[in-house]
Amino acid sequence: MAEEERRHVDAAVRGDVESFNMLVRAHESRVYGVCVRLVGDRDDAADVAQDTFISAFSRLSTYRGGSFRAWLLRIATNAALDFLRARRRRPTVSIDAHDDDPDDHPVLQVADATPTPEMALDQRELAQAIQRALAQLPDDQRTAIVLRDVEGFDYAEVAEITRASLGTVKSRISRGRARLRDILTADGTVRTALSSE
């Protein structure tokens, strides 16, 4: 942990709200990114991210050192999974949702090298297909894949964030990737090597 962050963490644990606000600013985009990819909706993700920081502030006394980022993302991951469980128990449909509005669907960021309009459309469709496929994975696999493949954490960090063993994390990622490939192949998003021969 950088020395400046350590000072902010120590001060926040002692009750310094401004230091906690500095930590929020330092980590809010990563927390939001994890939340949006886990819950699948930007507005819901913003709520889950806000709940994460409220929960983190109230739990600062339980922080025992180590990676503050991992501790915070563990809270975010748990908050997102709690949100998904609650949503499954009480499914709702927004009367404002329009399936034809691409802004209603979160997308994974796809590299942009000044694409043509056709390329941009293809990239958006691919990102939406990946997001829909991610939503079909079991929560533990989706969480591990988002943390590893989207957010770029190494396996040990994913294990720390999810409080799972390294072997379990590797298994979840392997099975999740295979399931993603099957889903994307079945819906025609990805063509298998055999179909191109």
CA distance 183 to 141: 14
pLDDT at 102 over 70: no
CA distance 52 to 39: 13
How confident is residue 191, by pLDDT bands cut at 50, 70 and 90?
A: low
pLDDT at 144 over 50: yes
Q: Please state the rounded mean pLDDT for residues 157-163.
A: 91
Which residue ranges form the domains of the chain, and what is each CATH number? 1-99 (1.10.1740.10), 107-197 (1.10.10.10)
Note whether 130 and 108 are within 8 A (CB). yes
- Extract the tokens encoding 48: 């889950």
Q: Please state the rounded mean pLDDT for residues 52-65.
A: 89
CA distance 184 to 133: 7
Please name the residue that has the structure tokens 């295979």: 178
Which range has the worst mean pLDDT, 2-11, 40-49, 98-107? Answer: 98-107
Residue 1 pLDDT: 55
CA distance 4 to 125: 41
9-53 confidence digits (pLDDT tens): 889 888 889 999 999 999 999 999 999 999 988 999 999 999 999
Taking all residues of the chain, what is their mean pLDDT, rounded to a whole number? 81
Q: Please state the rounded mean pLDDT for residues 189-194.
A: 55
Sort 92 into a burial class: Cβ within 10 Å, 0-12 / 13-18 / 19+.
exposed
Note whether 104 and 36 are within 8 A (CB). no
- Extract the tokens encoding 76: 């975010």
How confident is residue 94, by pLDDT bands cut at 50, 70 and 90?
A: very low
Quote the DSSP letter at residue 150: I
How confident is residue 91, by pLDDT bands cut at 50, 70 and 90?
A: low
Taking each helix axis from N to C terminus, what angle separates 42-58 and 68-89, rounded to the nearest 10 degrees? 130
Looking at per-residue pLDDT, the higher value among 174 and 1 belongs to 174
Note whether 34 and 73 are within 8 A (CB). yes
Please name the residue that has the structure tokens 């507005």: 43
pLDDT at 149 over 80: yes
Question: What pTM was estimated for this model as a whole?
Answer: 0.67
